[in-house]
Amino acid sequence: MTHATTPASAAVELDGKDLPAHCPNPAMTLWSSHPRVFLEFNKDGIAKCPYCGTAYKMKPGAVAAHH
């Protein structure tokens, strides 16, 4: 089975306050939920959920706050 690639323009945009990034995100409906997974961004700033394939990217100018 092959998965379609999601263009970066269709990705869910995250801000620094949304980190650490995880899927499912709060906007997703409960019936379509899967176990929570924390996401790692690649060198292009894109992360993809291994369960549902939802793509995530940081908003332009977003700053990741360090704790």
Ordered by start, the domain boundaries in the chain are 8-58
Give residue 8's pLDDT: 52
Q: Running DSSP on this structure, what letter comes out for residue 20?
A: S
Query: Given this model, what pLDDT does residue 30 score?
Result: 82
The per-residue pLDDT for 9 is 60
3-state secondary structure of 28: coil
Predicted confidence at residue 2, as pLDDT, reads 36
Provide CB contacts within 8 A for 23, sequence distance 6+.
34, 36, 37, 39, 49, 51, 52, 54, 56
Question: In this predicted model, which residue has the larger pLDDT, 40 or 8?
Answer: 40
Model pLDDT for residues 14-67, shown as the tens digit of each residue: 998 889 999 998 888 887 789 999 999 998 889 999 999 999 999 988 876 654
